[in-house]
A and B are shown apart, each in its own frame.
Chain A
C-alpha cells in the first residue's frame, strides 16, 4: 500500500524559499502524477501543482511564478520549492498521488505545517 510522507522545515522566513520533500513508500514513483496541495489555517484546500514522474509539470496559475516541483526517482521522492514566501504562504502542505490515467487524488500524505515568520 502506497504511503506518502512530507518533510521539511516548519518555519521559513519571509522572502526566503520554502522547500518540502514527499517520500513515496510501498510503491514506485513511476507511472503516476504527484501533487502538492496546501491549506492555510482555517481555510480550504488549494492545488499548487503536479509533476509526472518523467519530469513534466503543471502549476496553479496563481502560484506559477514562484513554484517548482521536481522529482528524484532514485530516492522515490518529489519536492516542492516555493520562493519569495510571505505570511500568506503559511499553511499545512500535503502531497498526494494522482494515478496514471486518473483525474483525482487517491493517496494523501498526513501533511506538514509550514509557518512563514521572522
Chain B
C-alpha cells in the first residue's frame, strides 16, 4: 500500500515563507511521479496550483513554487498572505493511470 505523506499542519506568519513537503512511505519522490499540488478552502472544490513538479497553473501567483527537495516534493509559498490559509494536497502519479493523494496539510497564517 503506497502512502503519500504530508505534514498534518503548518503555520506561517504573514509575509513569511513556508515549505510544505510530500513524501512516500517507502522510497523517494522524483519528477517521475509528476507531483502536483492543490489548494482547498473549506466548502470549496480544490484548485490546481502546481503540476509536473514546478509548473504553475494558469492564474496562480508566482509566490507559489514547486520543487524536489531531497527525497520529497515541495511546495513553497513566499510572502504568505492571509488568504493562503487553506488545506494543501499533493498528488503523485504512480504510473499506469493511478494517482495517490497525500493526507493534506492545514496551513494557518498568523
CB-based contact B45/A109 at 8 Å? yes
CB-based contact B34/A104 at 8 Å? yes
CB-based contact B91/A44 at 8 Å? no
Q: Which residues of B contact A50 (CB under 8 A)?
A: 97
Binary contact readout B32-61 vs A (1 if CB under 8 angstroms, 0 otherwise) = 001010101000011110011000010000
Q: Which residues of A contact B102 (CB under 8 A)?
A: 44
CB-based contact B47/A108 at 8 Å? yes
Give the residue name and chain of the A residue nearest to B51 (CB).
A104
Which single member of B45, B51, B52, B97 contacts A108 (CB below 8 Å)? B45
B64 is an interface residue with CB less than 8 A from chain A: no
A102 is an interface residue with CB less than 8 A from chain B: yes
B99 is an interface residue with CB less than 8 A from chain A: yes
CB-based contact B98/A58 at 8 Å? yes
**Cα distance A60–B91 when bound, in Å?**
14
Q: Which residues of A contact B34 (CB under 8 A)?
A: 103-104
Which single member of B45, B48, B93 contacts A94 (CB below 8 Å)? B45
**Cα distance A50–B91 when bound, in Å?**
15
**Cα distance A94–B40 when bound, in Å?**
13
CB-based contact B89/A45 at 8 Å? yes
A87 is an interface residue with CB less than 8 A from chain B: no
**Cα distance A47–B101 when bound, in Å?**
7
Q: Which residues of B contact A47 (CB under 8 A)?
A: 91, 98-101
Binary contact readout A95-114 vs B (1 if CB under 8 angstroms, 0 otherwise) = 01000001111101111000
A60 CB to closest chain B CB (Å) equals 8
A-B pairs with lowest CB-CB distance, top 6 = A58-B97, A104-B36, A104-B51, A103-B34, A103-B93, A108-B45
Interface CB pairs A-B, < 8 A, 8: A50-B97, A58-B97, A58-B98, A103-B93, A104-B36, A104-B52, A105-B91, A110-B45
